[in-house]
Amino acid sequence: MKRGMLWSFVCAVLLVGMAGAPAAPAGDMELINGIDANFPPFSYVDKNGNPDGFDVQAVNWIAEEMGFKVTHKPIDWDAIIPSLRAEKIDMIASGMSITEKRKEQVAFTNPYWTITQVLVVPEDSNLTVEQILSDGNKVGVQRGTSEAKWIQENLIKKEGRDFELVMYDSAPLSVEDVVNGRIVAAAMDDAPAVDAVKKKPVKILGRFGMPDESFGYAVRKEDKELLETLNEGLRRLMASPYWEELKSKYEL
């Protein structure tokens, strides 16, 4: 009797373990869009746990217009391009800047958004951009972003400026540390910066010399057909009144 119970426990654990592992998704025509769920207002997870944001709604519209199904899957930003190349997801529509380096790995649609990189500082800060980027100050940035790369390659290596770059998991976390006073400023895209200003005692100081960038949707290089579909979808979306509606909805 006692032994029976022990073994039934063991079996139960094993069964639950196996039941918990779902089978691989069936191969229907549904595309998976990988998003950085920590990038409001372009992509985030809403109160009920559903993916939302400017990019998410834009892709939903395009999917309906062009006749495909799409789901949105939050993925860590560091792993998002490897996930695309390993066919874990089919596209990335999540405020991804089009860069030469990324173009070596993925194909981008036509740009749909121009983004400016800015510095976010505490509300009561009176430092200038020049002062921030010197004196051994600490400046935060999200790891794996184009701005992190640009700052390292241009400001630190080329110009040899005396400040330290601190890497964060997401732009909002770097804003938290600006408020905490651990770093003097955080560098990020202007849209999340505007979002931060609404929710935290910070202000946007201004640009720090990085050229403007454009967002595009990324797909695998060999998925030429999908790239065309998305380009056509974007063209139709940007020509439709819904585009303006989206912009005002997400306060962009």
Partner 1 sequence: MPASIDAILDALPYLLQGSLVTIGVVLGAMGLGLLIGVSLALGQVYGPRPLGVPIGLYIWFFRGVPLLVLLFLFYFGLFSLMGLNLSAFAVAAIVLGLISAAYQSQIFRGAILSLPEGQLKAARALGMSDTRAIVSVVLPQALRLSIPGWSNEYSIVLKDSAVAYALGVAEVMARAHFVATRTYEHLPLYVAAGMIFLILTFLGTRGLRMLEDKVRIPGYSR
How far is the C-alpha of 92 from the C-alpha of 34, rounded, in Å? 5
- Please count the other Cβ atoms lying within 10 Å of the Cβ belonging to residue 126: 8
Token digits of residue 80 = 């998002």
Please name the helix (run of DSSP H) or strand (run of DSSP E) that holds residue 38, with its range, or none.
strand 38-39
What DSSP string runs through 113-154?
EEE-EEEEEETT----HHHHTSTTEEEEEETTSHHHHHIIII
Nearer to partner 1, 139 or 196 (CB): 196
Binding residues for partner 1, total number by CB under 8 A: 48
The separation between CA 143 and the C-alpha centre of its own chain, rounded to angstroms, equals 11
Q: Are the CB atoms for 95 and 211 separated by under 8 Å?
A: no
Interface with partner 1 (CB under 8 A), residue from 56, 93, 196, 227: 196
Residues between 10 and 29 with contacts to partner 1, criterion CB under 8 A? 10, 13-18, 20-22, 24-25
Query: 3-class SS at 111?
Result: coil
68, 111, 131, 169: which one binds partner 1 (CB under 8 A) = 169
3-state secondary structure of 107: strand
Compute the least distance from the CB of residue 209 to partner 1, in Å.
Answer: 27
User: Which residue's CB is nearer to partner 1, number 37 or number 155?
Assistant: 37
* Contact between residue 52 and residue 45 where contact means Cβ atoms under 8 Å apart: yes
DSSP code, position 251 = T
- The answer to whether 222 contacts partner 1 (rule: CB under 8 A) is no
Report the 10 Å Cβ neighbour count for 17. Answer: 9
Q: What is the smallest separation between the CB atom of 178 and partner 1, expressed in angstroms?
A: 12
Q: Is the CB of 21 or the CB of 239 nearer to partner 1?
A: 21
Nearer to partner 1 among residue 18 and residue 239 (C-beta): 18
Binding mask 57-96 for partner 1 (x = CB under 8 A): ----------------xxxx-xx--xx--xxx--------
Q: How many residues does the chain have?
A: 252
Nearest approach in angstroms of CB 40 to partner 1 is: 6
Residues that bind partner 1 (CB under 8 A): 2-3, 5-6, 9-10, 13-18, 20-22, 24-25, 34, 37-40, 44-49, 73-76, 78-79, 82-83, 86-88, 169-170, 172-173, 175-176, 196, 199-200
